[in-house]
């Protein structure tokens, strides 16, 4: 573990960015942290470098992504038909099954060295969920967790009404995190009809816009999420 913990976390808003470009960007940050950790293993005492932490926010053009253990059959549209709906497809290295990203959805990629915070993947996932739950609470949307299912849900006590509002999928290596969460704010939910979200075929998907019956200010959602994440993780966010 790092001799000196670094809670400073650089916040970067990438705006609307192609999925491949964002994937490359976060992967470069991820690898740079791993390189520092590798060098620290052989560095003399007192010469070890602090590892960096990053919090990336963005939106993506329409894209479907499949996790490493996902089932391609959960994409219900043929890949050659994707250009007709302006969408792309990627098979990636996070956990979880298939998910969708698109405009109006807040995607968050925390690239953290958890050794700066705590070494517990379960705690990491629950805190990401908690930040979303607390953010939704600010809009008077009551959300929570469903046992055995990752992400954030509404009407968690009614299996027939339960619907997902935020999906999550992460990868970690030597306690460094990659990928993250996708919160449906003003998302076009019709794109979810062309997949079985996260491989779960008996639960609906929703958005803040649908629940509130109005467009939601994305900047307000971003600011609240930043605040909740910083508080829960005890981050010192740097612009």
Q: Is residue 70 part of a domain?
A: yes
Q: Is residue 174 part of a domain?
A: yes
Average pLDDT over residues 13-31: 96
Tokens of 175: 């306690």
What's residue 201's pLDDT? 60
CATH number of 33's domain: 3.30.930.10
Q: Please calculate the CA angle 135-140-141 and round it to the nearest 5 degrees.
A: 70
Q: Is residue 181 part of a domain?
A: yes
What's residue 1's pLDDT? 46
Tell me, yes or no, if 166 is annotated catalytic: no
When divided into structural domains, the chain yields a total of: 1
In this predicted structure, the answer to whether residue 128 has a pLDDT above a threshold of 60 is yes
Q: Is residue 44 part of a domain?
A: no
Write down the catalytic residue from 22, 198, 216, 235. Answer: 198
223 vs 90, residue with greater confidence: 223
Q: Is residue 110 part of a domain?
A: yes
Q: What is the share, in percent, of the chain residues with pLDDT greater than 70?
A: 95
Q: Is residue 60 part of a domain?
A: yes
- The pLDDT mean for the chain works out to 92
Which band of pLDDT confidence, cut at 50, 70 and 90, is reported for residue 199?
low
Write out the residue range of the structural domain in which residue 203 sits.
10-38+50-238
What's residue 156's pLDDT? 93
Separation of alpha carbons 128 and 58, rounded Å: 16
Q: What b-and-e string marks burial along 189-223, b requiring 16 or more CB atoms within 10 Å of the CB?
A: bebbebbbbbbbeebbbbbbbbbeeeebebeebbe
What's residue 72's pLDDT? 84
What's residue 25's pLDDT? 97
Q: Is residue 43 part of a domain?
A: no
Q: How many other CB atoms are there within 10 angstroms of residue 177's CB atom?
A: 25
Strand 63-66 to strand 88-91: parallel, antiparallel, or no bridges (unpaired)? parallel
Mind listing the pLDDT tens digit for each residue in 42-90? 888 888 899 999 999 999 999 999 888 788 888 888 989 999 999 999 8
Q: Three-state SS across the chain?
A: CCCCCCCEEEEEEEEECCHHHHHHHHHHHHHHHHHHHHHHHHCCCCCCCCCCCEEEEEECCCEEEECCCCCHHHECCCHHHHHHHCCEEEECCCCCCEEEECCCEEEEEEECEHHHCCCCHHHHHHHHHHHHHHHHHCCCCCEEEECCEEEEEECCCCCCCCEEEEEEEEEEECCEEEEEEEEECCCCHHHHHHECHHHCCCCEECCHHHHHCCCCCHHHHHHHHHHHHHHHHCCEEEC
Q: Is residue 45 part of a domain?
A: no
What's residue 39's pLDDT? 93
Which band of pLDDT confidence, cut at 50, 70 and 90, is reported for residue 33?
very high
Tokens of 184: 């449906």
Separation of alpha carbons 60 and 15, rounded Å: 8
Mind listing the pLDDT tens digit for each residue in 131-148? 999 999 999 999 999 998
Structure pTM? Answer: 0.93
Which band of pLDDT confidence, cut at 50, 70 and 90, is reported for residue 3?
low
Tokens of 97: 């099954």
> Please, how many CA atoms are within 13 Å of residue 156, restricted to the half-sphere of its CB?
15
């Amino acid at each position: 573990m790092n001799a000196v913990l670094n809670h400073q976390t650089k916040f970067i808003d990438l705006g609307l960015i192609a999925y491949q470009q964002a994937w490359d960007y976060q992967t470069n940050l991820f690898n740079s942290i791993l390189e520092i950790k590798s060098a620290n293993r052989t560095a003399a005492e007192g010469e070890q470098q602090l590892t960096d932490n990053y919090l990336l926010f963005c939106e993506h053009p329409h894209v479907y992504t499949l996790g490493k253990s996902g089932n391609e059959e959960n994409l219900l549209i043929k890949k050659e038909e994707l250009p007709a709906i302006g969408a792309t497809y990627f098979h990636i290295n996070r956990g979880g099954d298939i998910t969708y990203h698109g405009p109006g959805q807040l995607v968050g990629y925390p690239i953290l060295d958890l050794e700066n915070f705590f070494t517990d993947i379960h705690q990491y996932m629950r805190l990401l969920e908690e930040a979303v739950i607390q953010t939704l609470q600010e809009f008077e949307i009551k959300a929570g967790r469903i046992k055995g299912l990752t992400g954030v849900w509404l009407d968690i006590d009614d299996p027939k009404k339960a619907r997902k509002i935020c999906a999550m999928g992460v990868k970690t290596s030597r306690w460094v995190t990659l990928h993250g969460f996708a919160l449906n704010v003003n998302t076009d939910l019709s794109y979810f009809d062309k997949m079985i979200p996260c491989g779960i075929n008996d639960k609906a998907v929703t958005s803040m816009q649908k629940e509130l019956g109005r467009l939601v200010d994305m900047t307000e959602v971003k600011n609240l999420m930043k605040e909740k994440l910083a508080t829960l993780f005890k981050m010192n966010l740097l612009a």
